[in-house]
Amino acid sequence: MPSNPFDAFFEPPGEPGEKKDQPERETTYPPLEDHSVFPENGKESLDEILEKNVAFERSAQSLSKLLSHTNAVDHEPVAFAGNTLVQYLIEIHDPHDQGSMRQEKAYHHFLENKFRSIIVPMLELAKLHSEIAHQFNEDVDEHYYSVEKTDLQVKSDKELALDGLLFQRKLLGNAARDLNILTRALEVCEVRLRKYIDAGGDNNISSSEQALIAKNREYLTAGLEHQFDYSLFTLNLLDEAALTFRFFTKQTLSQYLQRLESAFRNKA
């Protein structure tokens, strides 16, 4: 009996002639770029930044009061103080001259304590500021959105976050300025100590002791003792203008963060 040419269409599954189904190709789509950024704790990134800003300001209160109390500006050396050549040609009145070797050493120790009292809390605030600035740079841009807030609220929160960063930058700049003043005061104090080298009597100091005092001070004021290059927070005229006019673009923030990378010397 001739085979029916339509039998192949009615063969049960598993029998010869069955046409195996081809697996469906899964369609993949590139992931959408998410600018809302939810950390593991469920908070939106912008909310986290605002909370960290509040924490910074809470800790900054003690440092700002300390800067007022230490009166670093009172120890600013007068012009040409410490310049032995100029002092040889012109008599310069140095109001910080302590009058004796022992008093100069005591004054030097006093200035070092002031320096340490500022740099220690400044270091902790600088680390928090760096963390906030990095998170703002990575997570917040013109495409940032929130599933819980309106666009207007997001815009307002961005402004608050930026205000916080500018305040932090200014405070750290003020602290760096005071540390720079104390550094200059210490250097000039060491110059005054030189006139007591081998002077004899109660005012005598050896050249090796004077050199060791200067060496230990340099280790401190260079930031090596605390593994912190505070000088990177020093504000120049352009920095001060940017803070005044709130000129803080994404590009300037990225450049600023590159500088911060080298501020913490012991950073892994």
> Along the 268 residues of the chain, how does pLDDT read in single tens digits?
555 443 443 455 555 555 555 555 554 444 444 444 455 556 899 999 999 999 999 999 999 999 999 999 999 998 655 555 555 445 667 889 999 999 999 999 999 999 999 999 999 999 999 999 999 999 988 888 888 899 999 999 999 999 999 999 999 999 999 999 999 999 999 999 999 999 999 999 999 999 999 999 999 999 999 999 999 999 988 888 878 877 766 667 888 888 888 898 764 4
DSSP 165-230: HHHHHHHHHHHHHHHHHHHHHHHHHHHHHHTTBT--GGG-B-HHHHHHHHHHHHHHHTTTTTTB-G
The three-class DSSP label of residue 251 is helix
Could you tell me which of 75, 70, 73 has the C-alpha nearest to residue 107? 75
Domain ranges of the chain: 43-260
The three-class DSSP label of residue 259 is helix
What pLDDT was estimated at residue 205? 97
Dihedral (Cα; 181, 121, 164, 253), 10-degree rounding:
70
Could you tell me which of 75, 77, 127, 76 has the C-alpha nearest to residue 233? 127
pTM of the model: 0.79
What pLDDT was estimated at residue 245? 77
- HEC sequence for 7-47: HHHHCCCCCCCCCCCCCCCCCCCCCCCCCCCCCCCCCCHHH
What pLDDT was estimated at residue 32? 44
Could you tell me which of 122, 235, 110 has the C-alpha nearest to residue 185? 110
What pLDDT was estimated at residue 159? 93
What pLDDT was estimated at residue 178? 98
What pLDDT was estimated at residue 52? 98
What pLDDT was estimated at residue 253? 80
Q: How far apart are CA 155 and CA 137, in angstroms?
A: 15
What pLDDT was estimated at residue 180? 98
Could you tell me which of 139, 118, 117, 137 has the C-alpha nearest to residue 129? 137
